Every structure is written in C-alpha cells, then in structure tokens.
Chains A and B, each alone.
Chain A
C-alpha cells in the first residue's frame, strides 16, 4: 500500500461529498479516518460498493463510540476494507447526543444488519431505515443503553439495575406468562 492510493480514497470521498467531509486523519496504525456528515453516509457506502476503482467491497465492522462527556457527541464507526488490495478506511459519523440517528446501510451492505441492531440497543443510536429494528442481544424490557459510559460498569449502581430486573420478574408472579406469545413467536423464528 503506498501513500498515493491512500490519498486517493480520501480525495475520492472529498470529491464525492464535498464539504460533508468534516475532517480526515490517520490513526496510530496509519489507517485513514474520514469524519463525514450522516447525510452522505449512504452515498459513500454506495460508491464503496459500486466503484470499480475503489473496490472497497468489504464492511469489516460497525461500532460506536461514546464521547458525550467530552464533545456531547456519539460516533458511529464503519470500517471498510478492500479484499483485492490491502486497503482499509474508517468512516466516523458524529451524531449529536440529543438527536442520535444515522441512516441504515443494510440495504447496501447486508452484513451491517446485526451490527446496526447492536448499535441501536447498546448505544441508543437510532438507525433509520433499518429493515428489522428489533433488539439483538438484550432482552426486550431493557431500556438502558449498557455500552454508554453513563451506564455503570459495576458496583452498587449495577446491582440496582439487577435488582430492578429481579423485581420486574417477581412482579409478574405467573412466570409462564412472562413470555408473551409475541416474544415466543419471535424466539421461535
């Protein structure tokens, strides 16, 4: 991988979305990082998949970062890589913590489906246009966002979370009823 190619990806993005490319940088491993506006995420993903020169057809992962205490922002992070050439690029999409949503790219990269569901339930970033916006890992009744930094990682606060859940279980009394038909139907899918 030479520097010209790297530059080309960032240049390509800059040409594509113009001022919606907020910032670009490199991380400690030399991977390009492009911080873009959420409105142009779909365009960028589409061009990654379709453009024969880029060939960035592999979505490595989707995750999110909680920077609420420092910047009042959440970042949705997408890393794309090329299976043809040894190239990677990381797309960061900042969203305001008060109105956290990003567009879904599941229609472009189907592998983003479960990642986006996890992002929704664990970070509370709404993914608009997701085909199946159910919870993936957490039970349906959990309203907290456990991977945000405001969620307790242990100690008494975490016990309070557990106690609340136990109370909810015990309130139901009839435990066989704690699985409603709707839940069971989806469980059996």
Chain B
C-alpha cells in the first residue's frame, strides 16, 4: 500500500508518485503542465472554422474534403460557417475575378482576429490559366495568404495538408492577452 496521497494504479497495484517541481509544487498523476500559449493554441488548432467561400471548381474539392471520404472533421475543421463573424479560416477556393475581389476582401475584414487564409489552387495563388483582364493574378496581393495549396484543382489530401500547415503555424503563433 502506498502512503496517503499516492494514487494506486488498479492494474499493477504499484503506487504512482506525485511529480514534484523545482519550486516544490506537487503535481498529481494525470495532470500535465504546459505554457498557457501552448495550451490555447493546442485547443484552437483543432477547431479552425472555415468560412464557406467556394468560388470555382476548387470548391468541389473543398466539399469533397469535408465529405465522408476525406473527412476534414478529423482535423476539427468541419464546421463551414456561412457567416464570416463565426469563422477564423478563409479558404479561397477558386479564381477571384476583380468584380468579386471587394466582396472577398470584405468577408475577410469581417472575420474576427485571429484569422488565417489558405489560397487554394493555381488560380487563387497566381491567376492560373486566366491571363485576362477579368481575373485577379493571385489573391495574395489583396489578402495576407498564409498557406498556398498548389494544384488545378488540388486534391482533397492537398487541402488537408494545407490545413495541417495552418495548424502547425497556429501552434507556433503568439497569443495576445488583453
């Protein structure tokens, strides 16, 4: 039998010791300590909610990524919001025409901080095959893009990797306390 305060593991019967920090604080088993930044980012990165912004054929790959086969819900981003006020990730899926650009920019502006942008596909990243007056040569001159997903259109796996890169970036980001 262990001393008072020890937690006994049911299977082995061995007592688990309290972890003692250098400052003498005793941490019971099952409790982990970490930095607040890390824990907030860790929670945040598995609930990145994208805003629904399907502009062209890339949108079908985005829908496929959120459907059952590829299942973006495995990474916590299944909640596509119709309102930018409830979203923190913008997936620019498709070519952006100059006529659409003020709308895209306004939707981005309406998203609350912190927010991230994935430029999905060749057209959103650089204009793609559209060498015309009507299509903007890349959304990155107007929006701050975090991750570019290449492809025409990218497969759902590529979009998922883009999401993982966003999570990686998000985990490293600094949390601002007010």
A144 contacts chain B at the CB level, 8 A cutoff = yes
- B141 adjacent to A166 (CB under 8 Å): yes
B27 contacts chain A at the CB level, 8 A cutoff = no
Residue in contact with B103 in the complex, picked from A138, A146, A179, CB distance below 8 Å: A179
A7 contacts chain B at the CB level, 8 A cutoff = no
Report the interface size class on chain A.
20 to 34
Known: A137-B134, A158-B133. A142 touches B98 (CB 8 A): yes
- A176 adjacent to B131 (CB under 8 Å): no
CA distance A161 to B133 in the complex (A): 8
* A119-157 residues at the B interface, CB under 8 angstroms: 137-139, 142, 144, 146, 151, 154
CA distance A149 to B99 in the complex (A): 22
- B110 adjacent to A176 (CB under 8 Å): yes
Known: A137-B134, A144-B133, A169-B142. A178 touches B102 (CB 8 A): yes
- B136 adjacent to A183 (CB under 8 Å): no
Known: A137-B99, A169-B142. A175 touches B133 (CB 8 A): no
Which residue of the partner chain B has the closest CB to A176? B109
- B133 adjacent to A183 (CB under 8 Å): no
B137 contacts chain A at the CB level, 8 A cutoff = yes
- B99 adjacent to A159 (CB under 8 Å): no
- B141 adjacent to A154 (CB under 8 Å): no
B106 contacts chain A at the CB level, 8 A cutoff = yes
Report the interface size class on chain B.
10 to 19
CA distance A146 to B106 in the complex (A): 26
Minimum distance in angstroms from B125 CB to a CB of chain A: 15
Known: A144-B133, A158-B133, A162-B136. A176 touches B99 (CB 8 A): no
Known: A139-B98, A178-B105, A183-B102. A166 touches B133 (CB 8 A): no
Minimum distance in angstroms from B29 CB to a CB of chain A: 51
Which residues of chain B have C-beta atoms less than 8 A from A158's C-beta?
Answer: 131-133
Which residues of chain B have C-beta atoms less than 8 A from A183's C-beta?
Answer: 102
Residue in contact with A146 in the complex, picked from B131, B133, B137, CB distance below 8 Å: B133
CA distance A144 to B133 in the complex (A): 10
A26 contacts chain B at the CB level, 8 A cutoff = no
* B117-148 residues at the A interface, CB under 8 angstroms: 131-134, 136-137, 141-142
Enumerate 19 A-B pairs (CB-CB under 8 Å) in ascending A order.
A137-B99, A138-B98, A138-B99, A142-B98, A146-B133, A158-B131, A165-B98, A166-B141, A166-B142, A169-B101, A169-B142, A175-B105, A175-B108, A175-B142, A176-B106, A178-B105, A178-B106, A179-B103, A187-B103
10 closest cross-chain pairs (CB), A and B: A146-B133, A175-B105, A139-B99, A176-B109, A166-B141, A179-B102, A178-B102, A154-B131, A139-B98, A162-B137
A interface residues with partner B (beta carbon < 8 Å) = 137-139, 142, 144, 146, 151, 154, 158-159, 161-162, 165-166, 169-170, 175-176, 178-179, 183, 187
B interface residues with partner A (beta carbon < 8 Å) = 98-99, 101-103, 105-106, 108-110, 131-134, 136-137, 141-142
